[in-house]
Structure formats: C-alpha cells, structure tokens
Chains A and B, each alone.
Chain A
Amino acid sequence: MLRGTPFHPRTAALCQAHNWRRWAGCIVAGSYELLHDREYFAIRTAAALIDVSPLYKYHVTGPDAELFLNRLIPRDVARCAVHQVLYTPWCDQAGKIIDDGTLSRLDTDAFRLTAAEPNLRWLQDVAAGLDVTIGDITEALAALALQGPASREILKRISDVPLDDLGFFRLTHARVAGIPATISRTGYTGDLGYELWVEAAQAVALWDGLVEAGAAYGLIPAGILALDVARIEAGLPLLDVDYIPANKALIEERKSSPFELDLGWTVKLDKGPFVGRQALAAENERGPEWQFQGLEIEWDSIERLYAEAGLPPGLPATAWRTSVPVYSGGEQVGYATSGCWSPILKQYIALAHLRSAWAAPGTRLEMEVTVEHRRKRAEARVVKKPFYDPPRKRAVETAP
C-alpha cells in the first residue's frame, strides 16, 4: 500500500477522478478532475495548489555544512547567501548527474536539500571526514506549491511577512494562516509561485488556510499532470524521464553530465574541489557530445501528416514521457524525452537530447510521430528553452 502525503486527507476528498499517481513511494493526485486542463489554466492564469510533499528532503547542519555541500554540488555554495535558494544537479566522480533539486540556505550552517530520489547514503559518503549532520526529513516536512499569477496576492493575505520584495529563489520564514512555515519563491512551473515548507502535522491546516484565502482568486488544487505540462513549457528536466540518474543507469550511454542536460551554467569549475570536477573540466574542454534543447514541432507538418491519413490533426492530450527519435535527413541525431501541446503557447513542444552538431537553435530537424499506426516524421525546429517565460516569474513588486 503506497502511503499518502500529509495533505492526503484533503487531496483524497477532492480527487474526483481517482487519478492517483505514484511519486517516490507516495500517491499523489494526477488530476483532480477527469481532465487536467482547468488545473493547468489555474497555474497559468490564477493560482493552483500542488502537493509536492513526496520530494526527498534533507536537513544539513554543522560547521562543515558549507564545505560538504560545496563538495557535493557543482554550484558555489559559498556564494549562496542566507535565505537564498540554488537550483543544482549533483554528480558522481565521472561527472554524471545523480539527481537534482534545490538547496536552501536556512542559516550560515544550516541547509535544506531536495531530491527526486533517496540520496542519504550518497550524501553520507560525500560527507566522509566532515563535521556535518545530515537528517532525512522527507516525511517530517510537508511541501505545498502555490503557483500562478495570483499566488503572491493570496499568500500576502494570510502571511505575517512582506512578500513583495521576496526575490526569485529567495526564502523567508513566516506564519501562514497562523502556521509557522518557510516560504521559498521557487517552483516547477516556470511561473510566479511559491513553495511552502511546513511540519507534517500542520499540513492540513495550512492547506485549509490557503484554500480559504485563495477562493476569491480562483485558486484550485492541481495534480501532477497539469504540473508536467507547465514544467515542459518551463523547460525543466525531470529525473527518470529526461535523464537517468548515474547510479541507476545500466550502461554508460544512459548517463548525462550537466553540460549534456543544458545545466552547464551550474558548473563552477574554479570554485575548488567537488565530486566530478576533473571529469567535468575535461568535458568542458572538449565540449559536450549531447545537448538538451527545446523542439517546436511545426503545426503545418502535423496537419499534413494527419491529412494524408484522412484525419484532422491529432495532438497529445497529456504530456508524454517516452523516448521519441529525432532525425536530420535520414540520420537519427537525437531523441525527445518529454513533449506536450502547450495550451498557452498554442504550440506542440518537446524536450530533446540532440547531438551537439544538430543542437543550435534554428536547426531544422524531424521528430517521429505516429499517425494511424504508421511512423511518420514531422518537421521540427530547435529553440531555446524555456518555451514560456513570463516576466512575473522573476519580477519583484516595488512597493507603491
């Protein structure tokens, strides 16, 4: 029996579709309604509540906490201010990604790290010889994402701290609906949004407070199907879908380095030693073999392929997460790992691993589509990620 999250008493009552999905040993709502469309539009046009409690969470404290994390991740933790949050992957000694998540600096010597997979053993291995304590707080801490353009206004109504100047990837401690919580301006939607971190026992009360405050703003709960569309639009990679963690890959070819996942910007080669640095320095020197890019699939091409079969154009109803070949001429030059119809952009988009020679934005490629049981190739164009990047995502409200 998979366990529910701390929000389960509320989410279970709301999940009309009984569309439960497994996430890290928990069940979470795939969609609350039969179709996830309304939930998606809540994220993009109002506000949505997304239960992200299954994330693995680690509390890292001790005099060597910064040293340890700087050893673990390729980003420079020394440059992470207190109350700042870093998005980061982390790698094995060969420079291949094991997992990715966010690192919050709660205090000089206290951090919180999120991960998609259990990482305690790896963290402890990396901590060998260092004066640091690593606690697995996955179940003790509930996490709730409040995402969408109205999220700030909703949160402001029930928080006891000013939020207008809380910058992108910053956090603050507050009482939300009277409940002590950490608010970080982070999320997996690429929109204005927050994530609230709260003691598991207080999760339901926090949920109720937000639902009440958000009613006037069109706040509804959203499941992970809607979240999946939003994260593809935001160009954010997903473990096990867009990359295989190095410690689970059966063969070398399945592993990805940060450079191959378009995360080269997280790799600070000159910050001092960290796990995988030598391999990453060498890769940086020769350039990555693969790149992770956006693809826009041409509407006209889709329309033509379906017309040939006597059908109107068909589009995926939900985000897909299978490996789909990408071609240039007759040659396969890559594969897409996530794709969806973007309702807000009115565009069929995908995230693809492409050999570097075919990865430049503007490159014209073809992606396989199956039309009436037959494999066809639709025209596609390499584009920069994110596909959707509203200014409100980063904007700070200046007080009037």
Chain B
Amino acid sequence: MSKRYDAVLVGAGHNGLVCAAYLARTGLSVLVVERREVVGGAAATEELFPGFRFDSCAHRLGHLDPRVVSDLGLGGHGLKVRRPDLAVLAALPGGDHLAIWRDPQKTAEEIRRHSPDDAARWSRFGAAMAPAVRFRGHVAVATPPELPPAASRDLLAFMELGLRLRRTGRREMTEIMRVLPMSADELLDEWFESEPLQGLLAALGVSGLFLGPRAAGTAYLLLGGLSPDAEVLRPTELVTGGMGRFTEALAGAALANGARIRTGVEIERIRTAEGRVTGVVLSNGEEIDAARVVSNADPKRTFLGLVDPTELDPDFVRKVKNIRTRGAFAKVHLALAELPRFDGATGRPELLEGLIRICPSLDYLEHAYDDAKYGGVSRSPYLEAVIPSLTDPTLAPPGQHAMSVYVQYAPYELKEGSWDADRREALGDRVVGTLSEYAPGLDGAILDRHVSTPADLEDVYGLTGGCASHGEMALDQLFFMRPVPECAQYRTPIRDLYLCGAGTHPGGGVSGTAGYNAAREVLRAGKRAK
C-alpha cells in the first residue's frame, strides 16, 4: 500500500466529508479514514434496538450551508430536508404549551395566550435582530482574518467585515455591537415578559454550552437560532430518514467525486518530519503517505493525541490544552410502544413534528445550570426531544415510535465519582421522570432505553470532554480565536496539517460550513504553492 494521497481526512464527521468532497471535486486524491464502522460521526443514524433507528448524537441540522447542498448535489445523493410548519413546541407545566410556527402570524396568536404584549413584539423582535443575524451569517461563511493582520489579504478581510457592519446602518451597527456580548437573559428581558417565551428562546443561547442564560455571550449564540427573515425563529431542519441520511449523502458525493472512504480503522498518529506532515499511521500499523492531512477530530484530540508533541511549540500546546471543552449534555433514546401523550397535544400529532422543548422559563434553565455548575446533573434538566418516526415510518415498527432526547445539563466532570452504569441509569430515570411530568404515562410506553452520558459521547464519537462543538462556543473561543489564534485560518503550526471540524470557525451545529471553509483554505494554499 504505497499510494500517496493528496489529502487524508481524519474522521468522517459531516465536516470531514464536506471537506473531502470539495477537495476530491478539484481532482485531488482523497482518503477519508473513520474509526467507527459508520460514517457521519456525531451526525449518524443507528439502529440501537431492533426495528428502531435513532439519530444517535445530533438530531437536527443547524443551519445547513446551502452552498454545500447545491455544490455537492446532495439532493441527488438522497438528502431530503424537512422543515416542519411547527418549529418548536414548548411543553409547559399544567398541560399548557407554546408553539412556535414558521408562520409569524400563527405564532403571534399562540403567544397572545401567554402575553398580548409579547405577541405584538414577536415580529418586531425578528426585524430588530435581523441585521445582527445577517451579519453573523456573513461572518460564519468567511475565513477569520489573522489578528494582527499578517497579510494584506487579512487586512482586506477585516476592512470588508467592518464595511459590512457599517453598511447595516448607524443604529443597526450600534445595536449589533451592543447585543453580541450580552447575556440571553438581558436581551430577552428587553423584549419579552412571558416566562415560557423567554425560556424557549433562552435555550437557544446555551445549547451545548456549559453556561447558563445569564452568562455573557449567550445572546450571540441565541442569534444563531434566529432567522433573518419574517419567521423570526430559524426553521427546524430535520432529515428524512434520520441525520445519517445527510452524512450518507455527503459520503455519496465524496465517493462520486473520487474520494475513498475507509471505516473501522483509526488513525493512530499523524506522521510529521521537520515541522510538516508526511502522512498518517493507522491503528493496524499501516502507513499512508499524504501531501496534507485535514483533521475533522477536535483540536485537542488532534494536537494532544495525534501529532508528535515534539513538533509543537509548548506555548501552543498549552493554549490547546486550555481550550474549554466542558461537556454539558447527554442523549437519551426511547423506543416507544405509542406516541407520547403530551398534555394539550393529544390528538394533535402535528404539534410533535418539530422540536419538543422542555424549558418552561429562563429561571428553569438557570437553575438547571446551577446544579451542573457544581458538578451535579440538573434536577430538572432542559430537554429537547424529536420523534422523527412520526413523519418517517421507516424509523420504527408500525404504530411504535423512536424518540431522541437531548439533555442539558449533564456535566462531563462530576463533583463526585465518574460516569458509571449506575449514574447512567439514574440519568435516564431523571429524564424519563421529567418528561413524564409533561407527557403522563410515558414511562409505561417505554420498550427500551439507551442513555449516552457525556463520557459515552467522548468514547463513542471522540468528543473531548463530551463537547459536541469541539470547544465551547463562548465569546473568547470564537471567530479569529477559534480554536486558538494560530489555527483560526484552518491552517496549523504544522505545515500541511489543517483542521476542518466544529472546533474551527464557525463552530458547532450540523451546517457543514467549517468543512467548506477549510476546503477553501486548503485549495487556496495549494494554489499558492504552485
């Protein structure tokens, strides 16, 4: 096996596959190596119990990059994205609920039941936030410039960004600068009074983050859940057939462009010599030569686990070690004999087609974080559930359902002890108990249960610290500081080694933008080399 690849990808997560497909498209010989038997990384669909298929980690897309869908012809490779009319259903105590529809009028009517003032503000809130959301979108698709600008290209990029900000208008620019570092709590308090609405929106600001809604910078994350268009909230994007269909489509596109994908074999080491990449060494001892290596693994795993530490500046290593990757969530998968009966939604299955969120108030969320802050699992966790079998019967046996529940906060680092079988089951019980408060009788409908603790997420998906975004999406770990300033342009201190995962800008969420941006930088460097 003496073939030399133009590029070897470490890991077949969605960003790795996006990057591989783009590189292969330009004629480069590309090999993707995935340690799991299935591709997709944290965006996979797996049969956890016979007949029941679950999105084992991520259960929804997070602003899927439209460039990726069209450039790679993902539709032709079987991708069907569903944006249900109902984006989020917030289940509330006492049998009430709050539904956010894609139609802002319909949503306003729904909000009116909780607060007429909030209903009147709904569309205005969307319009006021739109410039910031749009600006955030522009920033997301760009490669962060180097700071201080090392090349005229960086200076231009900075000026372009500044100009774009300025063009939003004086008032809008000021508002963007004001809102970005705020807490979700402060921002929402300026707009809304009803607790259910505040809770539902605040959850957007802490998703995957080991911070509560009163922490600075959570407003920035909240903006990521908003739409620049009239519908205010970004539509919920689900994949028909499960998230695995998305990554399978990406793998299909990569293969169609000539890339090779090997699964079930792990890259043990990225081989280097004199500060540059020469190839990879697999767990079976096989060595593969490569002109460049692009790592979809998180920065800590890449630099602290795969690269010869003697190649790296100890100062750089310290910065990488200091990237915060405090896992905050767990996943619980339930095989159900029947559709859960959420109070107020019985007989209306259309209310359960989007996201089901349990986060009835901002205080609820902050209290949930309080528990985790000191190393405990939230007594009343924030939950986000999907029941994709409702609209996709292939995922569960007839009449039965597959429900995936995202659980926050379940800290990776526990105050006492570590994640073991007992604690895993206790977590499962707590989630089922919490859900049962809103969907009575759920307990009796459970045929099987699968719990992934933060430690399991680390073991199975290679997420350091159980952090799905490969590095917390906190203000000091964003943009040109993501994952560390030395790697913000997807390049690394080791020549021909690149990063393409969620640890790089723009970060977590299943969008493919990091993989797209990384491919662009790899190709740009290739052009310069010629």
Given contacts A125-B318, A128-B321, contact A93 B309 (CB under 8 A): no
Given contacts A128-B304, A129-B304, contact A92 B315 (CB under 8 A): yes
Whether A178 is near chain B, meaning CB under 8 Å from some CB there, is: no
- B310 touching A93, Cβ below 8 Å: no
- A93 touching B304, Cβ below 8 Å: no
Q: What does DSSP make chain B's interface, helix, strand, loop or mixed?
A: helix
Whether B317 is near chain A, meaning CB under 8 Å from some CB there, is: yes
What 1/0 mask marks residues of chain B from 309 to 351 whose CB sits below 8 Å from any chain A CB? 1111111111001000000000000000000000000000000
Whether B399 is near chain A, meaning CB under 8 Å from some CB there, is: no
* Interface residue total, chain A, C-beta cutoff 8 A: 15
Give the docked Cα–Cα distance between A278 and B315 (Å): 15
Whether A47 is near chain B, meaning CB under 8 Å from some CB there, is: no
What 1/0 mask marks residues of chain A from 77 to 97 whose CB sits below 8 Å from any chain B CB? 000000000000000110000
- B314 touching A130, Cβ below 8 Å: no
Give A269-283 interface residues, CB cut-off 8 Å to B: 272-275, 278
Give the docked Cα–Cα distance between A273 and B307 (Å): 13
- B311 touching A126, Cβ below 8 Å: no
A93, A272, A273, A278: the one within 8 Å of B314 (CB): A93
Give the docked Cα–Cα distance between A275 and B313 (Å): 7
Whether B275 is near chain A, meaning CB under 8 Å from some CB there, is: yes
B275, B311, B315: the one within 8 Å of A125 (CB): B315
Give the docked Cα–Cα distance between A121 and B318 (Å): 9
B275, B304, B314: the one within 8 Å of A275 (CB): B314
Residue of B308, B309, B316, B321 with most partner-chain A CB within 10 A: B309
- B275 touching A93, Cβ below 8 Å: no
- B313 contacts across to A, CB distance below 8 A: 92-93, 275
Given contacts A129-B304, A278-B275, contact A273 B318 (CB under 8 A): no
Give A114-129 interface residues, CB cut-off 8 Å to B: 121-122, 125-126, 128-129
Give the docked Cα–Cα distance between A275 and B493 (Å): 14
Give the docked Cα–Cα distance between A272 and B272 (Å): 13
- B318 contacts across to A, CB distance below 8 A: 121, 125, 128
A121 to chain B, nearest CB (A): 8
Give the docked Cα–Cα distance between A332 and B64 (Å): 64
Given contacts A128-B304, A129-B304, contact A71 B317 (CB under 8 A): no
Give the docked Cα–Cα distance between A273 and B309 (Å): 10
- B305 contacts across to A, CB distance below 8 A: 129
Give the docked Cα–Cα distance between A165 and B362 (Å): 77
- A71 contacts across to B, CB distance below 8 A: 309-310
Give the docked Cα–Cα distance between A128 and B309 (Å): 7
Give the docked Cα–Cα distance between A278 and B309 (Å): 15
Give the docked Cα–Cα distance between A297 and B23 (Å): 67
A275 — nearest CB in chain B belongs to which residue? B314
Give the docked Cα–Cα distance between A130 and B312 (Å): 13
- A130 touching B309, Cβ below 8 Å: yes
A105 to chain B, nearest CB (A): 20
A278 — nearest CB in chain B belongs to which residue? B275
Give the docked Cα–Cα distance between A274 and B318 (Å): 17
What 1/0 mask marks residues of chain A from 177 to 193 whose CB sits below 8 Å from any chain B CB? 00000000000000000
A313 to chain B, nearest CB (A): 49
B305 — nearest CB in chain A belongs to which residue? A129
- B314 touching A122, Cβ below 8 Å: yes
B131 to chain A, nearest CB (A): 42
- B312 contacts across to A, CB distance below 8 A: 128
- B275 contacts across to A, CB distance below 8 A: 278
- B308 contacts across to A, CB distance below 8 A: 273
Give the docked Cα–Cα distance between A262 and B309 (Å): 29
Q: Show 29 A/B contacts (Cβ-Cβ < 8 Å), sorted by A.
A: A71-B310, A92-B313, A92-B314, A92-B315, A93-B313, A93-B314, A121-B318, A122-B314, A125-B314, A125-B315, A125-B317, A126-B314, A128-B304, A128-B309, A128-B312, A128-B314, A128-B317, A128-B318, A129-B309, A130-B309, A272-B310, A273-B308, A273-B310, A273-B311, A274-B310, A275-B313, A275-B314, A278-B274, A278-B275
Q: Closest 7 A-B residue pairs measured CB to CB?
A: A93-B313, A129-B309, A125-B314, A273-B310, A128-B317, A126-B314, A125-B318
Give chain A's interface residues, CB within 8 Å of chain B. Answer: 71, 92-93, 121-122, 125-126, 128-130, 272-275, 278
15 other A-B residue contacts (CB within 8 Å) besides A71-B310, A272-B310: A71-B309, A93-B314, A93-B315, A93-B316, A121-B318, A122-B314, A128-B312, A128-B314, A129-B304, A130-B309, A273-B308, A273-B310, A273-B311, A275-B314, A278-B275
